[in-house]
Chain A
Amino acid sequence: MFDAPFPTSLPLAPGVGYKSSHFAQIMADPGPVEWLEIHAENYMGDGGRPLAQLRALSERFSISVHGVGLSIGGEGPLDADHLARLKHLVGWLSPASFSEHLAWSTHSTGYMNDLLPLPYTDATLTRVAEHIDEVQTVLGRRMLLENPSTYLAFAETDMSETDFLSELTRRTGCGLLLDVNNVFVSATNQKTNAEAYLKAFPTHAVGELHLGGHDVQSDEHGDPLLIDSHGAATADPVWKLYADLIARIGPAPTLIEWDNDVPDWPVLRNEAELAAHILSPVA
Protein backbone atom coordinates (compact mmCIF):
# COMPACT_ATOMS: atom_id res chain seq x y z
CA MET A 1 0.00 0.00 0.00
CA PHE A 2 1.50 3.28 -1.11
CA ASP A 3 0.69 5.99 1.38
CA ALA A 4 0.79 9.48 -0.12
CA PRO A 5 -1.58 12.38 -0.79
CA PHE A 6 -4.37 12.13 -3.34
CA PRO A 7 -2.91 11.02 -6.66
CA THR A 8 -3.40 14.09 -8.76
CA SER A 9 -3.21 17.83 -8.50
CA LEU A 10 -4.76 18.46 -11.92
CA PRO A 11 -7.18 21.40 -12.07
CA LEU A 12 -10.91 20.59 -11.80
CA ALA A 13 -11.22 21.76 -15.39
CA PRO A 14 -11.00 20.47 -18.96
CA GLY A 15 -7.73 19.26 -20.42
CA VAL A 16 -6.87 17.93 -23.87
CA GLY A 17 -4.57 15.27 -25.23
CA TYR A 18 -1.64 17.28 -26.56
CA LYS A 19 -0.80 17.11 -30.28
CA SER A 20 2.27 18.96 -31.53
CA SER A 21 0.26 20.33 -34.49
CA HIS A 22 -1.71 22.41 -31.95
CA PHE A 23 1.29 23.88 -30.12
CA ALA A 24 1.04 27.49 -31.29
CA GLN A 25 -2.76 27.66 -30.99
CA ILE A 26 -2.85 26.10 -27.52
CA MET A 27 -0.33 28.67 -26.31
CA ALA A 28 -2.24 31.56 -27.95
CA ASP A 29 -5.84 30.52 -27.45
CA PRO A 30 -6.35 27.74 -24.89
CA GLY A 31 -10.02 28.59 -24.20
CA PRO A 32 -11.13 26.66 -21.10
CA VAL A 33 -8.20 24.22 -21.30
CA GLU A 34 -6.12 24.35 -18.13
CA TRP A 35 -4.06 21.19 -18.48
CA LEU A 36 -2.61 18.86 -21.09
CA GLU A 37 -2.03 15.16 -21.22
CA ILE A 38 0.95 13.67 -23.02
CA HIS A 39 1.78 10.08 -23.86
CA ALA A 40 4.93 9.30 -21.93
CA GLU A 41 6.48 7.20 -24.69
CA ASN A 42 6.52 10.13 -27.13
CA TYR A 43 8.85 12.06 -24.81
CA MET A 44 11.50 9.44 -24.23
CA GLY A 45 13.98 10.86 -26.72
CA ASP A 46 17.09 12.69 -25.57
CA GLY A 47 16.25 16.18 -26.82
CA GLY A 48 14.99 18.21 -29.75
CA ARG A 49 11.62 19.80 -30.36
CA PRO A 50 9.40 17.34 -28.40
CA LEU A 51 11.15 17.99 -25.09
CA ALA A 52 11.55 21.72 -25.78
CA GLN A 53 7.82 22.06 -26.50
CA LEU A 54 6.92 20.02 -23.45
CA ARG A 55 9.10 22.22 -21.24
CA ALA A 56 7.44 25.35 -22.64
CA LEU A 57 3.95 23.89 -22.19
CA SER A 58 4.71 22.81 -18.63
CA GLU A 59 5.51 26.40 -17.68
CA ARG A 60 1.98 27.41 -18.63
CA PHE A 61 -0.23 24.33 -18.11
CA SER A 62 -0.50 21.49 -15.62
CA ILE A 63 0.70 18.30 -17.28
CA SER A 64 -0.62 14.77 -16.95
CA VAL A 65 1.81 12.05 -18.04
CA HIS A 66 -0.17 9.14 -19.44
CA GLY A 67 1.78 5.95 -20.12
CA VAL A 68 0.59 3.60 -22.82
CA GLY A 69 3.37 1.01 -22.83
CA LEU A 70 4.09 -0.22 -19.31
CA SER A 71 2.01 -3.39 -19.68
CA ILE A 72 0.82 -3.43 -16.07
CA GLY A 73 -1.50 -6.33 -16.88
CA GLY A 74 1.32 -8.39 -18.38
CA GLU A 75 2.05 -11.94 -17.20
CA GLY A 76 5.76 -11.29 -17.02
CA PRO A 77 7.67 -8.82 -14.85
CA LEU A 78 7.49 -5.12 -15.71
CA ASP A 79 10.19 -3.91 -18.12
CA ALA A 80 12.69 -2.38 -15.69
CA ASP A 81 14.30 -0.28 -18.44
CA HIS A 82 10.95 1.19 -19.41
CA LEU A 83 10.07 1.91 -15.80
CA ALA A 84 13.44 3.65 -15.43
CA ARG A 85 12.64 5.80 -18.49
CA LEU A 86 9.30 6.74 -16.90
CA LYS A 87 11.06 7.63 -13.67
CA HIS A 88 13.44 9.86 -15.61
CA LEU A 89 10.60 11.64 -17.44
CA VAL A 90 8.48 12.08 -14.32
CA GLY A 91 11.54 13.32 -12.40
CA TRP A 92 12.39 15.85 -15.12
CA LEU A 93 8.85 17.13 -15.57
CA SER A 94 7.27 16.79 -12.09
CA PRO A 95 3.82 16.37 -13.68
CA ALA A 96 0.56 16.88 -11.82
CA SER A 97 -0.45 13.30 -12.50
CA PHE A 98 0.86 9.98 -13.78
CA SER A 99 -1.52 7.35 -15.14
CA GLU A 100 -1.41 4.00 -16.93
CA HIS A 101 -3.85 1.33 -18.08
CA LEU A 102 -5.43 -1.85 -16.81
CA ALA A 103 -4.16 -3.72 -19.87
CA TRP A 104 -1.05 -5.35 -21.27
CA SER A 105 0.97 -4.77 -24.41
CA THR A 106 4.41 -6.33 -24.00
CA HIS A 107 5.42 -9.96 -23.99
CA SER A 108 8.60 -11.83 -24.87
CA THR A 109 7.67 -11.41 -28.56
CA GLY A 110 7.78 -7.63 -28.33
CA TYR A 111 5.58 -4.58 -27.84
CA MET A 112 2.16 -4.78 -29.52
CA ASN A 113 1.17 -1.08 -29.34
CA ASP A 114 -2.36 -1.89 -28.22
CA LEU A 115 -4.13 -2.12 -24.87
CA LEU A 116 -4.82 -5.83 -24.66
CA PRO A 117 -7.37 -7.28 -22.25
CA LEU A 118 -6.85 -9.57 -19.27
CA PRO A 119 -9.15 -11.87 -17.31
CA TYR A 120 -10.29 -10.72 -13.87
CA THR A 121 -9.39 -13.43 -11.34
CA ASP A 122 -7.62 -13.68 -7.97
CA ALA A 123 -4.39 -14.55 -9.78
CA THR A 124 -4.47 -11.55 -12.13
CA LEU A 125 -5.53 -9.27 -9.26
CA THR A 126 -2.46 -10.31 -7.26
CA ARG A 127 -0.17 -9.80 -10.24
CA VAL A 128 -1.55 -6.40 -11.23
CA ALA A 129 -1.43 -5.21 -7.60
CA GLU A 130 2.25 -6.22 -7.41
CA HIS A 131 2.98 -4.32 -10.61
CA ILE A 132 1.21 -1.19 -9.34
CA ASP A 133 3.15 -1.42 -6.07
CA GLU A 134 6.37 -1.60 -8.06
CA VAL A 135 5.46 1.39 -10.24
CA GLN A 136 4.48 3.51 -7.24
CA THR A 137 7.64 2.54 -5.36
CA VAL A 138 9.96 3.31 -8.28
CA LEU A 139 8.23 6.57 -9.21
CA GLY A 140 7.77 7.58 -5.59
CA ARG A 141 4.20 8.70 -6.17
CA ARG A 142 0.67 7.38 -6.42
CA MET A 143 -0.55 6.55 -9.89
CA LEU A 144 -3.95 6.46 -11.56
CA LEU A 145 -5.09 3.30 -13.31
CA GLU A 146 -7.50 3.55 -16.26
CA ASN A 147 -10.43 1.23 -16.96
CA PRO A 148 -10.10 -0.28 -20.46
CA SER A 149 -12.31 -0.53 -23.52
CA THR A 150 -12.89 -4.23 -24.14
CA TYR A 151 -14.18 -6.10 -27.17
CA LEU A 152 -14.33 -9.62 -25.80
CA ALA A 153 -14.52 -11.45 -22.48
CA PHE A 154 -12.58 -14.28 -20.84
CA ALA A 155 -14.38 -17.46 -19.86
CA GLU A 156 -12.17 -17.66 -16.77
CA THR A 157 -13.15 -14.19 -15.45
CA ASP A 158 -14.93 -14.54 -12.11
CA MET A 159 -14.86 -10.95 -10.85
CA SER A 160 -16.48 -7.77 -12.17
CA GLU A 161 -14.20 -5.05 -13.50
CA THR A 162 -15.46 -2.62 -10.85
CA ASP A 163 -14.75 -5.12 -8.04
CA PHE A 164 -11.32 -5.74 -9.57
CA LEU A 165 -10.53 -2.00 -9.65
CA SER A 166 -11.94 -1.43 -6.14
CA GLU A 167 -9.75 -4.16 -4.74
CA LEU A 168 -6.69 -2.75 -6.55
CA THR A 169 -7.23 0.67 -4.97
CA ARG A 170 -7.63 -0.97 -1.56
CA ARG A 171 -4.48 -3.08 -1.89
CA THR A 172 -2.18 -0.53 -3.53
CA GLY A 173 -3.58 2.87 -2.66
CA CYS A 174 -3.58 3.78 -6.35
CA GLY A 175 -6.15 6.17 -7.74
CA LEU A 176 -8.29 5.60 -10.81
CA LEU A 177 -8.68 7.28 -14.15
CA LEU A 178 -12.29 6.76 -15.15
CA ASP A 179 -12.70 6.78 -18.93
CA VAL A 180 -16.41 7.34 -19.51
CA ASN A 181 -16.17 6.51 -23.20
CA ASN A 182 -14.49 3.21 -22.30
CA VAL A 183 -17.35 2.49 -19.89
CA PHE A 184 -19.89 3.01 -22.66
CA VAL A 185 -17.87 1.05 -25.24
CA SER A 186 -17.28 -1.91 -22.92
CA ALA A 187 -20.84 -1.98 -21.59
CA THR A 188 -22.22 -2.01 -25.14
CA ASN A 189 -19.77 -4.68 -26.26
CA GLN A 190 -20.30 -6.84 -23.15
CA LYS A 191 -24.09 -6.24 -23.07
CA THR A 192 -23.91 -4.85 -19.56
CA ASN A 193 -25.31 -1.59 -18.19
CA ALA A 194 -23.09 1.50 -18.21
CA GLU A 195 -25.12 3.31 -15.50
CA ALA A 196 -24.84 0.28 -13.24
CA TYR A 197 -21.10 0.11 -13.89
CA LEU A 198 -20.69 3.76 -12.91
CA LYS A 199 -22.78 3.24 -9.75
CA ALA A 200 -20.52 0.34 -8.77
CA PHE A 201 -17.31 2.23 -9.63
CA PRO A 202 -15.20 3.31 -6.63
CA THR A 203 -15.55 7.00 -7.48
CA HIS A 204 -13.83 8.08 -4.22
CA ALA A 205 -10.54 7.01 -5.88
CA VAL A 206 -11.10 8.89 -9.15
CA GLY A 207 -8.42 11.48 -9.92
CA GLU A 208 -9.23 12.09 -13.58
CA LEU A 209 -11.91 11.47 -16.19
CA HIS A 210 -11.53 10.77 -19.90
CA LEU A 211 -13.93 11.55 -22.73
CA GLY A 212 -13.41 10.57 -26.35
CA GLY A 213 -15.01 9.25 -29.50
CA HIS A 214 -15.68 5.73 -30.73
CA ASP A 215 -16.56 3.96 -33.97
CA VAL A 216 -19.76 1.95 -34.33
CA GLN A 217 -19.44 -1.48 -35.95
CA SER A 218 -21.09 -4.86 -35.49
CA ASP A 219 -19.80 -8.37 -34.98
CA GLU A 220 -20.48 -11.44 -37.16
CA HIS A 221 -23.76 -12.07 -35.29
CA GLY A 222 -25.03 -8.54 -35.92
CA ASP A 223 -24.43 -7.47 -32.30
CA PRO A 224 -23.06 -3.95 -31.78
CA LEU A 225 -19.31 -3.70 -31.55
CA LEU A 226 -17.99 -0.28 -30.55
CA ILE A 227 -14.35 0.53 -31.19
CA ASP A 228 -12.46 2.95 -28.96
CA SER A 229 -10.98 4.91 -31.85
CA HIS A 230 -10.11 8.26 -30.22
CA GLY A 231 -10.83 9.53 -33.69
CA ALA A 232 -14.12 11.41 -33.36
CA ALA A 233 -16.11 13.75 -31.14
CA THR A 234 -17.51 12.35 -27.89
CA ALA A 235 -20.86 10.66 -28.55
CA ASP A 236 -24.11 11.95 -27.03
CA PRO A 237 -24.77 8.97 -24.73
CA VAL A 238 -21.24 9.39 -23.34
CA TRP A 239 -21.88 13.08 -22.64
CA LYS A 240 -25.08 12.04 -20.82
CA LEU A 241 -23.22 9.52 -18.65
CA TYR A 242 -20.57 12.15 -17.95
CA ALA A 243 -23.08 14.86 -17.00
CA ASP A 244 -24.88 12.47 -14.63
CA LEU A 245 -21.56 11.45 -13.12
CA ILE A 246 -20.43 15.03 -12.52
CA ALA A 247 -23.83 15.84 -10.98
CA ARG A 248 -23.26 12.96 -8.56
CA ILE A 249 -19.53 13.24 -7.68
CA GLY A 250 -18.79 16.90 -8.38
CA PRO A 251 -16.26 18.41 -10.78
CA ALA A 252 -13.18 16.39 -11.73
CA PRO A 253 -10.26 16.96 -14.11
CA THR A 254 -11.66 15.91 -17.50
CA LEU A 255 -9.63 15.09 -20.57
CA ILE A 256 -10.79 15.26 -24.18
CA GLU A 257 -8.89 12.46 -25.99
CA TRP A 258 -8.63 12.76 -29.76
CA ASP A 259 -5.56 10.94 -31.04
CA ASN A 260 -6.46 9.90 -34.60
CA ASP A 261 -7.76 12.04 -37.46
CA VAL A 262 -6.74 14.91 -35.19
CA PRO A 263 -9.07 17.89 -35.79
CA ASP A 264 -8.17 21.55 -36.06
CA TRP A 265 -7.69 23.25 -32.72
CA PRO A 266 -11.09 25.06 -32.66
CA VAL A 267 -12.91 21.71 -32.91
CA LEU A 268 -10.96 20.27 -30.01
CA ARG A 269 -11.34 23.46 -27.98
CA ASN A 270 -15.09 23.29 -28.57
CA GLU A 271 -15.19 19.78 -27.06
CA ALA A 272 -13.33 21.19 -24.04
CA GLU A 273 -15.93 23.98 -23.81
CA LEU A 274 -18.75 21.42 -23.74
CA ALA A 275 -17.01 19.72 -20.81
CA ALA A 276 -16.44 23.10 -19.12
CA HIS A 277 -20.20 23.84 -19.23
CA ILE A 278 -20.94 20.56 -17.51
CA LEU A 279 -18.18 21.11 -14.94
CA SER A 280 -19.42 24.62 -14.08
CA PRO A 281 -23.11 24.77 -15.07
CA VAL A 282 -23.48 28.37 -13.86
CA ALA A 283 -20.92 29.70 -16.35
Chain B
Amino acid sequence: MSTQTQFIGALLDAAAPVPDGLIDPEGRAAGKRFDVYRNNVIVSLVAALRDGFPALNSLLGPEYFDALAGIYVRQHPPSDPRLMNYGASLPQFLSGFEPLAHLPYLADVARLELAIRTSYHAADHTPVTPDQLAAIPPEALGNQCFGLAPSAVLIHSPYPIVGIRAKALGGNMGEARAHDVLVARAEFDPIPHILAPGVLSFLTALSDGRALGDAAGLAAEAAPEFDLSAALGLSLSAQILTERAIP
Protein backbone atom coordinates (compact mmCIF):
# COMPACT_ATOMS: atom_id res chain seq x y z
CA MET B 1 0.00 0.00 0.00
CA SER B 2 1.33 3.46 -0.88
CA THR B 3 2.18 6.03 1.79
CA GLN B 4 -0.62 8.35 0.69
CA THR B 5 -3.16 5.49 0.60
CA GLN B 6 -2.28 4.73 4.24
CA PHE B 7 -2.38 8.42 5.11
CA ILE B 8 -5.89 8.87 3.68
CA GLY B 9 -7.14 5.63 5.18
CA ALA B 10 -6.14 6.88 8.62
CA LEU B 11 -7.48 10.39 7.92
CA LEU B 12 -10.98 9.09 7.29
CA ASP B 13 -11.00 6.56 10.13
CA ALA B 14 -10.63 8.20 13.53
CA ALA B 15 -10.09 4.78 15.15
CA ALA B 16 -7.20 3.83 12.85
CA PRO B 17 -3.65 4.09 14.20
CA VAL B 18 -1.46 6.93 12.91
CA PRO B 19 0.62 5.53 10.00
CA ASP B 20 4.23 4.61 10.77
CA GLY B 21 6.91 7.14 9.96
CA LEU B 22 4.91 10.25 10.93
CA ILE B 23 6.71 11.90 13.81
CA ASP B 24 7.01 14.99 15.98
CA PRO B 25 10.28 16.97 16.32
CA GLU B 26 11.46 14.62 19.07
CA GLY B 27 10.98 11.59 16.84
CA ARG B 28 7.87 10.41 18.72
CA ALA B 29 4.81 9.11 16.86
CA ALA B 30 2.76 12.06 15.59
CA GLY B 31 -0.42 11.50 17.66
CA LYS B 32 -2.35 14.74 18.02
CA ARG B 33 -0.36 16.30 15.18
CA PHE B 34 -1.93 13.82 12.79
CA ASP B 35 -5.33 14.61 14.29
CA VAL B 36 -4.92 18.19 13.02
CA TYR B 37 -5.17 16.87 9.46
CA ARG B 38 -8.05 14.54 10.40
CA ASN B 39 -9.89 17.47 11.89
CA ASN B 40 -9.18 19.83 8.98
CA VAL B 41 -10.56 17.35 6.45
CA ILE B 42 -13.77 16.49 8.27
CA VAL B 43 -14.52 19.97 9.62
CA SER B 44 -13.91 21.72 6.30
CA LEU B 45 -16.00 19.26 4.31
CA VAL B 46 -18.84 19.31 6.85
CA ALA B 47 -18.72 23.12 6.64
CA ALA B 48 -18.94 22.93 2.84
CA LEU B 49 -22.06 20.77 3.18
CA ARG B 50 -23.56 23.16 5.73
CA ASP B 51 -23.02 26.05 3.30
CA GLY B 52 -24.65 24.03 0.54
CA PHE B 53 -27.60 22.70 2.57
CA PRO B 54 -28.62 25.48 4.99
CA ALA B 55 -32.27 24.37 5.23
CA LEU B 56 -31.29 20.79 5.96
CA ASN B 57 -28.93 22.09 8.65
CA SER B 58 -31.78 24.07 10.17
CA LEU B 59 -34.27 21.18 9.98
CA LEU B 60 -31.92 18.69 11.63
CA GLY B 61 -30.22 21.12 13.99
CA PRO B 62 -26.47 21.81 13.70
CA GLU B 63 -25.47 18.99 16.05
CA TYR B 64 -27.38 16.31 14.18
CA PHE B 65 -26.29 17.80 10.86
CA ASP B 66 -22.62 17.59 11.93
CA ALA B 67 -22.97 13.93 12.85
CA LEU B 68 -24.84 13.05 9.67
CA ALA B 69 -22.48 15.05 7.45
CA GLY B 70 -19.48 13.47 9.19
CA ILE B 71 -20.73 10.02 8.20
CA TYR B 72 -21.43 11.17 4.66
CA VAL B 73 -18.00 12.82 4.28
CA ARG B 74 -16.20 9.64 5.34
CA GLN B 75 -18.25 7.48 2.98
CA HIS B 76 -18.42 9.92 0.08
CA PRO B 77 -15.50 12.36 0.04
CA PRO B 78 -15.57 14.82 -2.90
CA SER B 79 -14.59 13.31 -6.23
CA ASP B 80 -12.81 16.50 -7.31
CA PRO B 81 -11.81 19.88 -5.82
CA ARG B 82 -14.91 21.79 -6.96
CA LEU B 83 -16.71 21.98 -3.63
CA MET B 84 -19.52 23.88 -5.38
CA ASN B 85 -20.58 20.45 -6.66
CA TYR B 86 -20.05 18.57 -3.41
CA GLY B 87 -23.00 16.74 -1.92
CA ALA B 88 -24.73 15.73 -5.17
CA SER B 89 -25.33 12.26 -3.73
CA LEU B 90 -26.53 13.52 -0.33
CA PRO B 91 -30.27 13.21 -1.23
CA GLN B 92 -29.75 9.57 -2.16
CA PHE B 93 -27.74 9.04 1.02
CA LEU B 94 -30.57 10.57 3.07
CA SER B 95 -33.15 8.31 1.40
CA GLY B 96 -31.20 5.29 2.59
CA PHE B 97 -30.37 6.64 6.06
CA GLU B 98 -32.46 4.46 8.37
CA PRO B 99 -32.52 6.75 11.47
CA LEU B 100 -34.25 9.46 9.37
CA ALA B 101 -36.71 7.16 7.57
CA HIS B 102 -39.59 8.86 9.44
CA LEU B 103 -38.76 12.18 7.73
CA PRO B 104 -38.98 11.14 4.09
CA TYR B 105 -39.20 14.72 2.77
CA LEU B 106 -35.62 15.55 3.84
CA ALA B 107 -34.11 14.01 0.71
CA ASP B 108 -36.33 16.17 -1.51
CA VAL B 109 -35.50 19.31 0.48
CA ALA B 110 -31.82 18.46 -0.09
CA ARG B 111 -32.61 17.97 -3.80
CA LEU B 112 -34.14 21.46 -3.89
CA GLU B 113 -31.08 22.96 -2.19
CA LEU B 114 -28.84 21.23 -4.72
CA ALA B 115 -30.96 22.56 -7.57
CA ILE B 116 -30.57 26.10 -6.22
CA ARG B 117 -26.79 25.68 -6.07
CA THR B 118 -26.68 24.17 -9.57
CA SER B 119 -28.73 27.06 -10.89
CA TYR B 120 -26.49 29.62 -9.17
CA HIS B 121 -23.36 28.35 -10.95
CA ALA B 122 -24.99 27.48 -14.30
CA ALA B 123 -24.06 29.23 -17.53
CA ASP B 124 -25.62 32.61 -18.28
CA HIS B 125 -28.17 32.77 -21.10
CA THR B 126 -30.13 35.23 -23.21
CA PRO B 127 -33.84 34.70 -22.50
CA VAL B 128 -36.63 34.96 -25.05
CA THR B 129 -38.50 38.22 -24.30
CA PRO B 130 -42.28 38.80 -24.29
CA ASP B 131 -41.82 40.97 -27.41
CA GLN B 132 -40.02 38.20 -29.24
CA LEU B 133 -42.74 35.72 -28.35
CA ALA B 134 -45.47 38.18 -29.39
CA ALA B 135 -43.75 38.65 -32.75
CA ILE B 136 -44.21 34.99 -33.67
CA PRO B 137 -47.31 34.67 -35.96
CA PRO B 138 -50.09 32.80 -34.13
CA GLU B 139 -50.23 30.08 -36.81
CA ALA B 140 -46.48 29.39 -36.35
CA LEU B 141 -46.52 29.33 -32.58
CA GLY B 142 -47.50 25.66 -32.23
CA ASN B 143 -44.51 24.56 -34.27
CA GLN B 144 -42.07 26.77 -32.40
CA CYS B 145 -39.36 25.08 -30.33
CA PHE B 146 -37.68 26.62 -27.31
CA GLY B 147 -34.83 25.58 -25.10
CA LEU B 148 -34.69 25.96 -21.33
CA ALA B 149 -32.01 28.07 -19.69
CA PRO B 150 -29.06 26.09 -18.27
CA SER B 151 -29.97 27.58 -14.88
CA ALA B 152 -33.55 26.23 -15.01
CA VAL B 153 -33.95 23.06 -12.92
CA LEU B 154 -37.19 21.06 -12.59
CA ILE B 155 -38.08 18.92 -9.55
CA HIS B 156 -41.13 16.91 -8.63
CA SER B 157 -41.80 16.02 -5.01
CA PRO B 158 -44.75 14.50 -3.15
CA TYR B 159 -43.92 16.96 -0.34
CA PRO B 160 -44.30 20.73 -0.06
CA ILE B 161 -40.55 21.21 -0.26
CA VAL B 162 -40.58 24.90 -1.21
CA GLY B 163 -42.56 25.72 1.92
CA ILE B 164 -40.51 23.41 4.13
CA ARG B 165 -37.31 25.05 2.93
CA ALA B 166 -38.72 28.56 3.32
CA LYS B 167 -39.86 27.85 6.88
CA ALA B 168 -36.52 26.25 7.76
CA LEU B 169 -34.80 29.44 6.63
CA GLY B 170 -37.09 31.65 8.71
CA GLY B 171 -39.89 32.35 6.22
CA ASN B 172 -43.44 31.07 5.82
CA MET B 173 -44.56 27.57 5.05
CA GLY B 174 -47.15 28.52 2.41
CA GLU B 175 -49.13 25.85 0.57
CA ALA B 176 -48.90 22.40 2.16
CA ARG B 177 -49.37 20.22 -0.91
CA ALA B 178 -47.20 18.22 -3.27
CA HIS B 179 -44.90 20.41 -5.32
CA ASP B 180 -43.69 20.55 -8.85
CA VAL B 181 -40.90 23.08 -8.67
CA LEU B 182 -38.98 25.19 -11.17
CA VAL B 183 -35.75 26.71 -9.90
CA ALA B 184 -34.80 29.59 -12.17
CA ARG B 185 -32.34 32.44 -12.15
CA ALA B 186 -33.24 35.63 -13.97
CA GLU B 187 -29.96 37.36 -13.13
CA PHE B 188 -27.86 35.92 -10.30
CA ASP B 189 -30.19 34.68 -7.56
CA PRO B 190 -32.10 31.43 -8.13
CA ILE B 191 -35.78 31.43 -7.09
CA PRO B 192 -37.95 28.34 -6.58
CA HIS B 193 -41.37 28.62 -8.27
CA ILE B 194 -44.23 26.26 -7.38
CA LEU B 195 -45.72 25.07 -10.65
CA ALA B 196 -49.42 24.78 -11.51
CA PRO B 197 -50.71 21.39 -12.77
CA GLY B 198 -49.20 20.28 -16.08
CA VAL B 199 -46.47 22.92 -16.21
CA LEU B 200 -43.73 20.47 -15.24
CA SER B 201 -44.77 18.20 -18.15
CA PHE B 202 -44.91 21.22 -20.47
CA LEU B 203 -41.42 22.48 -19.58
CA THR B 204 -39.94 18.98 -19.64
CA ALA B 205 -41.35 18.44 -23.13
CA LEU B 206 -39.95 21.79 -24.34
CA SER B 207 -36.61 20.91 -22.85
CA ASP B 208 -36.73 17.57 -24.69
CA GLY B 209 -37.11 19.46 -27.96
CA ARG B 210 -40.87 19.10 -28.50
CA ALA B 211 -42.61 21.97 -30.28
CA LEU B 212 -44.85 24.27 -28.24
CA GLY B 213 -48.09 22.69 -29.49
CA ASP B 214 -46.92 19.15 -28.73
CA ALA B 215 -45.66 20.19 -25.31
CA ALA B 216 -49.01 21.82 -24.49
CA GLY B 217 -50.82 18.67 -25.62
CA LEU B 218 -48.68 16.47 -23.39
CA ALA B 219 -49.25 18.84 -20.47
CA ALA B 220 -53.05 18.75 -20.99
CA GLU B 221 -52.91 14.95 -21.03
CA ALA B 222 -51.02 14.96 -17.75
CA ALA B 223 -53.34 17.58 -16.19
CA PRO B 224 -56.63 18.56 -17.90
CA GLU B 225 -56.64 21.93 -16.11
CA PHE B 226 -53.27 22.88 -17.70
CA ASP B 227 -53.33 26.60 -18.61
CA LEU B 228 -51.00 27.35 -21.53
CA SER B 229 -51.09 31.12 -21.33
CA ALA B 230 -50.29 31.05 -17.59
CA ALA B 231 -47.44 28.61 -18.26
CA LEU B 232 -46.03 30.91 -20.94
CA GLY B 233 -46.47 33.90 -18.63
CA LEU B 234 -44.40 32.22 -15.93
CA SER B 235 -41.79 31.08 -18.45
CA LEU B 236 -41.35 34.65 -19.65
CA SER B 237 -41.32 36.27 -16.22
CA ALA B 238 -38.85 33.68 -14.89
CA GLN B 239 -36.79 34.23 -18.08
CA ILE B 240 -36.21 30.53 -18.73
CA LEU B 241 -36.99 30.22 -22.45
CA THR B 242 -34.13 30.31 -24.90
CA GLU B 243 -34.10 30.32 -28.67
CA ARG B 244 -33.97 26.99 -30.41
CA ALA B 245 -34.10 26.43 -34.15
CA ILE B 246 -37.04 24.50 -35.57
CA PRO B 247 -35.69 21.02 -36.21
Q: Would A68 and B81 count as touching, CB distance under 8 A?
A: yes
Q: Would B37 and A116 count as touching, CB distance under 8 A?
A: yes
Which residues of chain A have C-beta atoms less than 8 A from B120's C-beta?
A: 45, 48-49
Q: Would A227 and B84 count as touching, CB distance under 8 A?
A: no
Per the bound structure, the CA–CA distance linking A87 and B77 in Å amounts to 25
- A residues 195-253 in Cβ contact with B at 8 Å: 219-221, 223, 225, 227
Say yes or no: is A158 at the interface (Cβ < 8 Å to chain B): no
Say yes or no: is A105 at the interface (Cβ < 8 Å to chain B): yes
CB-contact partner of A153 in B23, B32, B188, under 8 A: B23
Q: Would A152 and B80 count as touching, CB distance under 8 A?
A: no
Give chain B's interface residue range (CB within 8 Å of chain A): 35 or more
Which residues of chain A have C-beta atoms less than 8 A from B36's C-beta?
A: 151, 225, 227
Chain A residue, CB-CB nearest to B77: A110
Q: Would B44 and A113 count as touching, CB distance under 8 A?
A: yes
Q: Beta-carbon contacts of A135-174 to B below 8 Å, as 1s and 0s?
A: 0000000000000000111111000000000000000000
Which residues of chain B have C-beta atoms less than 8 A from A56's C-beta?
A: none
- B residues 74-133 in Cβ contact with A at 8 Å: 76-84, 120-124
Q: Would B121 and A152 count as touching, CB distance under 8 A?
A: no
Which residues of chain B have C-beta atoms less than 8 A from A119's C-beta?
A: 3
Which residues of chain B have C-beta atoms less than 8 A from A254's C-beta?
A: none
Given known A-B contacts A113-B81, A225-B32, A46 and B3 have beta carbons under 8 A apart: no
Q: Would A69 and B80 count as touching, CB distance under 8 A?
A: yes
Q: Beta-carbon contacts of A52-87 to B below 8 Å, as 1s and 0s?
A: 100000000000000011100011100101100100
What is the distance, in angstroms, from B54's C-beta to the closest C-beta of chain A? Answer: 15
What is the distance, in angstroms, from B4's C-beta to the closest C-beta of chain A? Answer: 5
CB-contact partner of A109 in B8, B33, B37, B121, under 8 A: B8
Say yes or no: is B12 at the interface (Cβ < 8 Å to chain A): yes
Which residues of chain A have C-beta atoms less than 8 A from B229's C-beta?
A: none
Which residues of chain A have C-beta atoms less than 8 A from B37's C-beta?
A: 114, 116-117, 151
Q: Would B81 and A109 count as touching, CB distance under 8 A?
A: no
How many residues of chain A are within 8 Å of chain B by beta carbon? 50
Q: Beta-carbon contacts of B1-45 to A below 8 Å, as 1s and 0s?
A: 011110111011000000011111111101111101100110011
Say yes or no: is B155 at the interface (Cβ < 8 Å to chain A): no
What is the distance, in angstroms, from B201's C-beta to the closest C-beta of chain A? Answer: 27
What is the distance, in angstroms, from A225's C-beta to the closest C-beta of chain B? Answer: 7
Say yes or no: is B150 at the interface (Cβ < 8 Å to chain A): yes
Say yes or no: is B48 at the interface (Cβ < 8 Å to chain A): yes
Q: List 30 A-B contacts (CB under 8 A).
A: A41-B81, A41-B82, A41-B84, A42-B83, A45-B84, A46-B150, A47-B123, A48-B185, A49-B188, A52-B124, A68-B81, A69-B82, A75-B3, A76-B4, A104-B4, A109-B8, A109-B77, A110-B79, A111-B80, A113-B44, A117-B37, A151-B30, A152-B33, A153-B24, A154-B22, A154-B23, A192-B25, A219-B31, A219-B32, A223-B26
Interface residues of B (CB under 8 A from A): 2-5, 7-9, 11-12, 20-28, 30-34, 36-37, 40-41, 44-45, 48, 76-84, 120-124, 150-151, 185, 188-189
